[in-house]
Chains A and B, each alone.
Chain A
Amino acid sequence: MKTISVLEDRKKQIYQKGQDGFDISCEQKSLAGSVSQRACVFCGSRVVLYPIADALHLIHGPIGCASYTWDIRGALSSGPELHRMSFSTDLSETDIIFGGEKKLEQALFELIDAYEPRAAFVYCTCIVGIIGDDVDAVCRKVAARVGIPVLPVHSEGFKGTKKDSYKAACDALFTLIDQSKEPPKKIPLGINILGEFNIGGETWIIKDYYRRMGIETVAVMTGDGRVKDIQSAQRACLNVVQCSGSLTHLAKEMEEVYGIPYIRVSYFGIEDTASALYDVASFFAGSPAIMEKTTRLVQEEVCAIIPDLEEIKQDLAGKRAAIYVGGAFKAFSLIKALKYLGMEVVLVGSQTGNKEDYALLKKMCRPGTIILDDANPLELAKYIMEKDAHLFIGGVKEKPIAYKLGIGFCDHNHERKIPLAGFAGMRNFAREIHETITSPIWELVPGKGQKNIPESLNKG
Chain B
Amino acid sequence: MKTKAYTATRNACKMCTPLGAALVFHGIEGTIPLLHGSQGCSTYMRRYMISHFKEPVDIASSNFSEETAIFGGGANLKQAIENVSRQYAPEMIGIATTCLSETIGDDVPMILEKMGNQINQTALVHVSTPSFSGTHVDGFHGAVRAVVGQCNPLSNRTKYTPKTKKRINLFPGMLSNEDLRHLKEIFTDLNIDLILLPDYSERLEGPSWVEYQAIQKGGTPIRDIRKMNASTGSMEFGTILARFAGKGEKSAAALLKKRFDVPWESLGIPIGVKATDIFFSVMERLTLKSMPEKYKKQRGRLIDAYVDGNKYVSKKRAIVYGEEDFVAAMAGFLAEIGIIPVLCASGGNSGLLKQALSELIPQNIFKQVEVHNGMDFTRMEQQARELSPDFVIGNSKGYTMARHLNIPLVRVGFPIHDRLGGSRILHIGYQGTQHLFDTIVNTLLQTRQDTSKIGYAYM
| Across-interface contacts of B54 in A (CB, < 8 A) | 399-400, 403
Partner of A32, one of B14, B76, B208, B209: B76
| Across-interface contacts of B135 in A (CB, < 8 A) | 63
A60-81 CB contacts (< 8 Å) to partner B: 61-72
A381-433 CB contacts (< 8 Å) to partner B: 381-382, 385, 396-397, 399-401, 403-406
Partner of A110, one of B8, B39, B47, B76: B8
Q: Does A404 contact B209, Cβ atoms closer than 8 Å?
A: yes
Partner of A39, one of B18, B40, B347, B397: B40
Among B97-105, B240-248, B433-441, B448-456, the stretch that binds chain A is: B97-105
> How many residues of chain B get a CB closer than 8 Å to chain A's CBs?
76
| Across-interface contacts of B208 in A (CB, < 8 A) | 403-406, 445-447
Give a binary string over A124-166; 1 marks a CB under 8 Å from any B CB, 0 the rest: 0011011100000000000000000000000001111000000
| Across-interface contacts of B41 in A (CB, < 8 A) | 40, 64, 157
Cα separation A133 to B77 with both chains bound (whole Å): 27
* Given A63-B12, A63-B15, A35-B210 contact (CB < 8 Å): no
Partner of A1, one of B39, B61, B211: B211
| Across-interface contacts of A86 in B (CB, < 8 A) | 10-12
Cα separation A96 to B214 with both chains bound (whole Å): 38
Interface size of A as a range: 35 or more
Q: Is A29 an interface residue (CB 8 A)?
A: yes
Q: Does B8 contact A89, Cβ atoms closer than 8 Å?
A: yes
| Across-interface contacts of B17 in A (CB, < 8 A) | 64
| Across-interface contacts of B214 in A (CB, < 8 A) | 2, 4, 378
Partner of A85, one of B10, B130, B131: B10
| Across-interface contacts of B347 in A (CB, < 8 A) | 63
Tell me the number of A-to-B contacts counted with CB atoms below 8 Å: 240
| Across-interface contacts of A385 in B (CB, < 8 A) | 212
Q: Does B43 contact A36, Cβ atoms closer than 8 Å?
A: yes
Q: Does A30 contact B9, Cβ atoms closer than 8 Å?
A: no
Q: Does B83 contact A157, Cβ atoms closer than 8 Å?
A: no
Q: Is B56 an interface residue (CB 8 A)?
A: yes
Cα separation A13 to B71 with both chains bound (whole Å): 27
| Across-interface contacts of A159 in B (CB, < 8 A) | 66
Q: Is B80 an interface residue (CB 8 A)?
A: yes
| Across-interface contacts of A126 in B (CB, < 8 A) | 37-38, 40, 64, 69, 98-100
Q: Does B40 contact A33, Cβ atoms closer than 8 Å?
A: no
* Given A33-B34, A64-B16, A126-B38, A38-B43 contact (CB < 8 Å): yes
A interface, CB within 8 angstroms of B = 1-2, 4-5, 7, 9, 29-43, 58, 61-72, 84-93, 95-96, 103, 106-107, 110-111, 114, 126-127, 129-131, 157-160, 376-378, 381-382, 385, 396-397, 399-401, 403-406, 445-447, 450, 460
Q: Which 3 A-B pairs have the closest CB atoms?
A: A40-B40, A64-B16, A33-B83
A-B CB contact pairs (8 Å), 28 listed: A31-B83, A33-B34, A33-B63, A33-B79, A34-B63, A35-B42, A38-B43, A39-B43, A40-B38, A40-B39, A43-B44, A62-B99, A64-B45, A66-B9, A66-B12, A67-B12, A85-B10, A86-B11, A87-B9, A87-B10, A90-B8, A91-B132, A93-B132, A158-B68, A382-B212, A403-B54, A405-B209, A445-B208
Known: A39-B39, A63-B9, A376-B87. 20 other contacts (CB 8 A): A33-B34, A33-B62, A35-B42, A35-B58, A35-B59, A43-B43, A62-B132, A64-B41, A64-B45, A66-B9, A68-B15, A68-B47, A68-B48, A86-B12, A87-B9, A110-B6, A377-B58, A399-B54, A400-B54, A400-B56
